[in-house]
Amino acid sequence: MSPRLSQRGRVEPFHVMELLKAANRRAATHGDVISLCAGQPSTPAPVVALEAVATAVRDGAVLGYTDAMGTAVCREAIAGHLQRTSGLRVDPAHVAVTTGSSAGFTALFLAAFDPGDVVMMTRPGYPAYRNTLAALGCRAVELECGPAVRFQPTVALLEEWTAAAGAPPAGLIIASPANPTGTVIAPDELAAIARWCDANDVLLVSDEIYHGVTFGEQAASAWETSREAVLVGSVSKYFSMTGWRVGWLVLPEHLVRPVELLLGNLNICAPAIAQVAAAAALGPTARLELDGHVRRYRDNRDHVLARLPELGVTQWAPADGAFYAYADVSHLTLDSVAYCDQLLAATGVAITPGVDFAPGHGPTPGLDGQRWVRMSLAGSTEDIDEAMSRWIAHVRSGPGTRHT
């Protein structure tokens, strides 16, 4: 019997996970790794969340399955957080608690899109959108967004794409701040995009997972303009709780019940103990601690951007938020995968090749991911400084040739 393997299961690797595996292998043998590849804070969950978990465990909380949409306490905490931070009045009935935002995307895509539907994302953009859509039989199309538009979509670009394609996409996924660039969509442009989506019957999926991690103006929310949009959030980034696996969707009325049915079947519910922790973290008490992390990310960003020229780098994305530096290293390599492997082997510094975010060849060769790398700035300032020093020393001592 021939082994059964589906076509749609053959997704691209998430290169950052491959790098993480290689970095962990090297850490075991050399002990010198500084990992700037994964987008995760190096700090634990906020104290108030840890205390809530300790109390629940001590008091013998049952921690069984919760409602598919999450506990009432967690859904109310998410609604309260959105009200405090963005002034949004959200009915907790429109909130779905998910197993990280990742599980939310799967349920949402299944609820909203059919196989063959065209769903647009930015190039560069977060790879799991593309790979999850592909696994579900949808067609992910990339809208190239370069430095001229600060790596973010505009209504003009959407109009241009739609005119060329003859029809708008079924969905548009945006992220502000974005991964890998950290750029924020200006509030008026976000509002215009939301209005354009409504007028063209395009489901706007606004990934707001990096909200809270901004270094200037706070990022606007799509729900300030349109309640037809879907908001995506998570405790992974600002809340420093990646492994707890709690995210959320804020849904327009028509998607609430379909998403509930899908979540109940796909995941049953998000982990109960993690919902306890998330509800506590979402309250006002944790903000002081968490805002301290954001100040460190900003310092790290300033530090890294100031040192990029020492590597000969002249082009990078303006990181308004999130915790990444996305830099053009085409003077060093035209094969960012090989370059990141080689940098790890030579220096113990792990960074992510841009091919995760801009794979293959796009309309503008200079934006292809083989020419770019991403560094995570979420670690300690000392580690980031040491990583930059090692990288700079490596470039200075190197043969100066580029991989092609």
Interacting residue ranges for ligand PLP, rule: CB under 6 A: 39, 100-102, 126, 175, 179, 207, 209, 234, 236, 242, 247
Shortest Å distance, C-beta 180 to ligand PLP: 8
Nearer to ligand PLP, 209 or 332 (CB): 209
Shortest Å distance, C-beta 247 to ligand PLP: 4
Nearer to ligand PLP, 95 or 395 (CB): 95
Shortest Å distance, C-beta 404 to ligand PLP: 30
CA distance to 155, 206, 228, 238, 254, per residue, from 195 (Å): 9, 13, 10, 28, 18
CA 188, CA 184: separation in Å to the nearest integer? 12
Q: Residue 38's CB: how many other CB atoms inside 10 A?
A: 18
What percent helix, strand, coil does the chain show, rounded to 5? 45, 15, 40
Written as one letter, the residue type at 219 is A
Secondary structure (DSSP) of 90-125: --GGGEEEESHHHHHHHHHHHHH--TT-EEEEEES-
CA dihedral 221, 223, 224, 228 (to 10 degrees): 140
Q: Cβ contacts of residue 176 below 8 Å, gap of 6+?
A: 152, 183, 184, 185, 190, 206, 207, 208, 210, 219, 220
Q: Cβ contacts of residue 60 below 8 Å, gap of 6+?
A: none
CA distance to 131, 163, 310, per residue, from 14 (Å): 9, 32, 29
With CA atoms as reference, report the closest residue to 308 among 335, 333, 327: 327
Question: By the 8 A CB rule, do 105 and 232 touch?
Answer: yes
Question: By the 8 A CB rule, do 12 and 127 touch?
Answer: yes
Nearer to ligand PLP, 332 or 350 (CB): 350
Shortest Å distance, C-beta 29 to ligand PLP: 27
Shortest Å distance, C-beta 38 to ligand PLP: 8
Shortest Å distance, C-beta 314 to ligand PLP: 26
Nearer to ligand PLP, 223 or 239 (CB): 239
Shortest Å distance, C-beta 124 to ligand PLP: 11
Nearer to ligand PLP, 221 or 234 (CB): 234
Taking the CA of residue 221 as centre, how many other CA atoms within 13 Å lie in the half-sphere pointing to its CB? 24
Shortest Å distance, C-beta 101 to ligand PLP: 3
Nearer to ligand PLP, 97 or 175 (CB): 175
Nearer to ligand PLP, 45 or 395 (CB): 45
Nearer to ligand PLP, 90 or 205 (CB): 205
Closest-approach residue to ligand PLP (CB): 100
